[in-house]
Amino acid sequence: RTPPRFAEEGENLQCVKVKSHGNHNLLRGQRATIYFRGTGDPRLDTKRFDFKVEGLTHHELLLLNLDGTPVSNNHDSSTGHVQVKYQHAMLRMGMFGLPFIVWTLLPIAGYAALLAYLNTGAVKFQPSTSSLHVAIGCLVSVVVHSFRYRSLARTRLKKDITHFIQRLKQKNPNPTRCGRGPSRAITAGQLKEFD
């Protein structure tokens, strides 16, 4: 699962870009299978892995069909979440050019190498103690990653948007979809309230 919220925009209706609010962590040259939720566009909110993405910049992704061709039809959405297939998240996403699976295995390999080095001398270390250290290291990495993920998702802007949505739901608890056109626009008064 990735933390970015996204906004889509068609560029001359030739391609659709997905913009994330944080670094999407997709490695250069990799494609990941994704699905959307919470966009308000039924063509996107299928809860199936119907799309692929390819990184353009650290904050932009190119939306692709499953066959790898760019999505050319315009989608009308400015919010939502992107869910990456778990296998692709571990193999095709990462930091500093290394996939997350390598970052997961790196501490284990380091501890194994350290244990092998320390066991070459006269004094032998107990594997159970070393296994405990490996387990603690893995647990700490999971906690740190979880904290980082949650802190990325809890920005000041996200809190303001959540508060504004709650206020809108109080004013209009059963909103209905309206047609495209000027009546759909946000008024200056609504923007002032958001401030």
The pLDDT tens digits for 56-95 are 888 888 888 888 888 877 776 777 888 888 888 888 888 8
Q: How confident is the model at residue 122 (pLDDT cuts 50, 70, 90)?
A: low
Residue 1, pLDDT score: 40
**Whole-prediction pTM value?**
0.55
Can you tell me the distance from the alpha carbon of 35 to that of 16, in angstroms, rounded to the nearest whole number?
A: 15
Kindly give, in sequence order, each residue whose CB lies less than 8 Å from that of residue 36, ignoring residues fewer than 6 positions away: 6, 44, 45, 46, 51, 80, 81, 82, 83
Q: What is the largest CA-CA distance in the chain?
A: 81
